[in-house]
Structure 1
Amino acid sequence: MSSLYSYMYALALLGSLANPLLCLAHHNHVALFVFGDSLFDPGNNNYINTTTDFQANFWPYGHSFFKYPTGRFSDGRLVPDFIAEFAKLPLIPGYFQAEEQRRYVNGVNFASDGAGSLVQTHSGFVIDFKTQVQYFKNVIKQLKGMLGDKESNKLLSSAVYMFSNAGNDYLSPFSTNSTIFNSYTKEEYVDMVIDSFINVIKEVYKEGGRKFVIFSAVPLACVPYSRALNFQQTNRTGCEKKFRVLTEIHNKVLPKKLIELEKALQGFKYSYFDLFQAITDIIDRPSRYGFKEAKTACCGSGPYRGLASCGGKRGQLKEYELCKDVRDYMFFDNFHPTEKSNLHFATLLWNGDPNVVRSYSVKSLFEQVL
């Protein structure tokens, strides 16, 4: 069945494939390369040896747009899908799909559900950031073979590079009963995560990357999973406080590190998206943004539909509930936004909304051809 899904997804991409090299004939062609976790995973985990906890290749994922599960953790498209659309690019293929079809010139998506900046985060079940960068280097070799050094270097320097990170690094110590905080303070642990992530950015920079889109950590304490956990443990409603400290430290330190990079790396430009604030704004005032429910997930079970049961294959639960109208909800499952939410976030990012975007709008990054 999963091969059928892969085949159907490939068909959805064929409209732009008559001759992908023709794209480079456009003077302003800018590719999009994507790295990250489940917020960006287009189905890469369908191709690796992992468990259903790290996959979304079953119904009802994908039902709003694709009408079948692609491996995306949403009812439809993700933020990179909308950014590609705004930039007049086709859907950016996952790494393994791109490899099969030799489709690289519009960009590649390397993201993997469960991935973190630290290699040890969910090690053995996901494509960690270090491996994602290695896959990127494999793509560069292919591009050089297809286009030659001059054209491939031009493509790489003009491309936009998107990153989502950190959520899994801050969840995994609690979900795996890790003793990491016996050895490190919370501040030291966050520094480890961010330093590892900055090294990834530097690696991409060394390969020619100059324009970066970087997401903050999400408000992990207030996603449906955390609310359900808090309710089960304390019988209280509200956010789970133990996740809050790490994400708040992260979101204070990371912007400062990006300012330092901008000063240290010639030609480095970035758009920083405060996804933490964008999600919090909706949670606090859902109706203002066109939502009716911002605390409970559309798909799942238990309190806030926050247990990992969407589709009946994630976690240990076989039963799940599905909301009547997904357009009313900000969260699709216990962690991940709906397609409607992703469109909202992508629009803020593209336009450079000053409340949540720092430095450059993503639109302006695409318009700058280096």
Structure 2
Amino acid sequence: MLRAAVLIVFLLSVARHGCSQIYNAIYSFGDSISDTGNLCTGSGGCPSWLTTGQPPYGNTHFGRPTGRCTDGRVVVDFLAEHFRLPLLPPSKASGGDFKKGANMAIIGATTMDFDFFQSHGLGNSIWNNGPLGTQIQWFQQLMPSICGSDCKSYLNNSLFIVGEFGGNDYNAPLFGGKGMAEVRTYVPQIIDKITNSLEALIELGAVDVVVPGVLPIGCFPLYLTLYPSSSKDDYDEIGCLKSFNNLSSYHNDLLKQAVSGLRSKHAGVRLMYADFYAQVADMVRSPETFGLKYGLRVCCGAGGQGSYNYNNRARCGMTGASACADPEKHLVWDGIHLTDAAYHAVADGWLNGTYCTPGILR
């Protein structure tokens, strides 16, 4: 009788905390949207040249810069907290214990390798060596310390987050002066690379895999400030630039098709498409629904300048910029990355399936 009572209490606790689903670990791949500090693992912490490694980054949750490109946590942090796992250490941290998770994501990461950009005259636009293929190599180098000789079964019960990838593949040519028509021709190659990388992770043992799409880049103050238009027709009903969002939508449409194809090919694998685009667009459209107040206005920027509080020459972390007093009410932190509060809402949307198909929670 006592044993039955204890079991009931345990089950009630599990239901209350939402932790009936258990993972060994979480392994993350991506760019600045999900990096937890891979450029800040040296003895001196974040390098002085890294703007996102300076205050007030990290102030909301950690009280200091951690290499995360926000005021606090990113999506993978909230997922780790939900599943009662440690916050994911950056994979480049020396002497780290990666059995419960590791984050290969790094600021500036692209899907495509350097040679791709060099062949398009964009070699000078790529400044780090952590593209998707390299991140998978980093993970493989960690595997012996994570799971020894029985990696398949261990990774079968781990959660993988692969992306988003693509944002920097489009930033480089767009900021480098390439026309939209040319940039759109890159999309199928980028999707093929993501698809092949997912196949590689599945081969290593990944079974539960979240694949986020790219964000609506036309809604970010960085793009809205750099590419203003005098024509109202260039903006949609929520004030975002149509042409840039059409590029994001094209990428996401092809990615969803690729994920669907992989589902058919790998019946035992649970591939989850996370709709970053739809959720961020909804947050711009109706921030109040997500507990926010401001959609397109930057929290950490150039002292109230312009419609979006954004100045590319006085970005967050640079002289002349400052953070708002209420980041918990803002969607956008620094012009291109979201706030701790927004990432928390995104994580909830992925867990419960509102913006993830299927939801992470079974």
TM-score (norm 1): 0.80
SS of corresponding position for 2:161: strand
Q: Pick from 298, 305, 309: which aligns with 1:305?
A: 309
- Does 1:130 find its partner at 2:133? yes
Does the aligned pair in 2 maintain the 1:31–1:105 contact within 8 Å?
A: yes
Determine what percentage of the aligned residue pairs are the same residue.
26
Query: How far apart, in 2, do the equivalents of 1:253 and 1:299 lie?
Result: 34
Matched residue, 1:24: none
Where in structure 2 are the equivalents of 1:7-46 lying within 5 Å? 28-46=22-40
RMSD: 2.6
* SS of structure 2 residue aligned to 1:255: helix
Q: 2:107 is matched by which residue type in structure 1?
A: D
Find the residue that maps to 1:66 and give its secondary structure: coil
- Name the counterpart of 2:360: 362
| Matches of 2:185 and 2:277, distance apart in 1 | 21
Work out whether 1:119 is the aligned partner of 2:92.
no
Deviations 1:162-221 (A, max 9, x none): 022111112211112347x7xx85553110111111111111111111111011110001
> Structure 1 residues 125 and 54, CA, compared in 2 at 3 Å: closer, same or farther?
farther
Larger mean CA deviation between 65-74 and 248-257 belongs to: 248-257
1:208-252 residue CA offsets vs partner (Å, 9 max, x unmatched)? 111110111100011111111233x65988433442232111111
Structure 1 window deviating more from structure 2 (57-66 vs 117-126): it is 117-126
Gaps of 5+ in 2: 1-20, 118-124
1:156 maps to which residue? 155
Structure 1 residue 263 displacement after superposition? 0.9
User: What residue is the counterpart of 1:333 in the other structure?
Assistant: 334
Structure 2 partner of 1:67: 63
1:28–1:273 Cα change, 3 Å? closer
List runs of 5+ in structure 1 lacking aligned partners.
Answer: 1-26, 365-370
- Number of the residue aligned with 2:215: 218
* Greater helix fraction, Structure 1 or Structure 2: 1
2:271 alignment partner, SS class: strand
- Deviation at 1:51? 8.0
- The whole-number CA distance in structure 2 between the counterparts of 1:265 and 1:330 is 36
Give the alignment of 1:1-370 within 5 angstroms: 28-47=22-41, 56-97=52-93, 99-101=94-96, 103-120=97-114, 122-144=125-147, 148-150=148-150, 152-163=151-162, 164-178=164-178, 185-231=182-228, 234=230, 238-301=239-302, 302-303=305-306, 304-308=308-312, 309-313=314-318, 318-353=319-354, 356-359=355-358, 361-364=359-362
Q: Check whether the contact 2:274–2:356 (CA below 8 A) recurs between aligned residues.
A: yes
TM-score by length of 2: 0.82
Aligned equivalents of 1:40 and 1:81: distance in 2? 9
> Tell me, what secondary structure is at the counterpart of 1:30?
coil
